[in-house]
Amino acid sequence: MFVHRLSSRAAGAVRLWNGEPARRSTPAPTPELILFEYEASPWCRRVRETLGVLGLAALIKPCPRETLRAEGAFGATSRHRPEAAAAAAEAGASSRLSFPLLVDRTAGVTLSDSAAICEHLWSLYGGGVERPTLDQALNPRRRTLLDFPLLAAPSALRPWPEAGLMLAPSEPNQQPLLLYGCEADAGSRLVREALCSLQLEYRSQPRPLSAPLPALEDPNSGFAAFGARQALEHLDRTHRTGEALGWLAPLPSPNLGEARMHPVLARLLGR
């Protein structure tokens, strides 16, 4: 646990603890937001930081990977990717399935690019919020070459497949769990990683770093507790049914998503 706590702490530190709710002159709005994402994705982090800064709650539908060999692939065990693919198709997305994908039911839009999602959230729900200078620097409105390495650094510090990258078998939850957490908080990250790999749908409610974090409530079993250790034990005991898939997991068969090989892998294999 020590290594995990330390590396999770470092993951928050490399982003300079960005993602805490900013000061607002009015209470945070409560739009109906559904975010399809996975913890280890750099671009998903950008959106989660923005939701945190704006103090916006969202229903998270984790879409961990089943393979690293192809982008947008998924098999029958993927719980939320089929719904994400359907939402993207309904919105007329022409490109491959990618994450983050935001469905904003209040505004009636579905967006699939992290920069566009952040722009959307700021323009609709950022009234009365003074954007922290740090967030402006780390998540600039124009794209820069530094975006990817800066956003990927936290996941590089947590390179384990079960750290919100690869799918782990689990019992599905009937009702969403509720996580009071902060993007930058070490314990919150550990709990998000487990929720993600286990594909457990949850409502994310941003809190400042000074709050007692993380707090997890599971209406399916009546569990409610502060602290990462208790939350992780609960998730393992109640929902996990097996170990996460490994780095080298093959393409799911049948593959219900895309079969395009990762461009770097394709180049290495000369295809």
Contact 2, 25 (CB under 8 A): no
Here the tokens at position 159 are 């390179």
Among the listed residues 124, 89, 86, the one whose alpha carbon sits nearest the alpha carbon of residue 104: 124
Long-range pairs, 115-120, Cβ under 8 A, ≥24: 115/46, 115/141, 115/143, 117/47, 117/50, 118/46, 118/47, 118/50
Residues binding ligand GSH: number (CB under 6 A): 13
In this chain, which of 31, 42, 82, 227 binds ligand GSH, going by CB under 6 A?
Answer: 42
Q: Does 43 bind ligand GSH (CB under 6 A)?
A: yes
Binding part of the chain for ligand GSH, among 41-49, 187-195, 196-204, 247-255 by CB under 6 A, reads 41-49
Distance, CA of 248 to CA of 65 (rounded, Å): 11
For the bound state, the minimum distance from the C-beta of residue 227 to ligand GSH, rounded and expressed in Å, comes to: 29
- If the CB atoms of residues 88 and 190 are measured against ligand GSH, the closer one turns out to be 88
b or e along 178-203 (b: 16 or more beta carbons within 10 Å of the residue's beta carbon)? bbbbbbbbbbbbbbbbbbbbbbbbbe
For the bound state, the minimum distance from the C-beta of residue 99 to ligand GSH, rounded and expressed in Å, comes to: 4
Site for ligand GSH in 58-97 (CB under 6 A): 65, 71-73
Binding mask 101-130 for ligand GSH (x = CB under 6 A): ------------xxx---------------
For the bound state, the minimum distance from the C-beta of residue 265 to ligand GSH, rounded and expressed in Å, comes to: 13
**Which residues lie near ligand GSH (CB under 6 A)?**
41-43, 65, 71-73, 98-100, 113-115
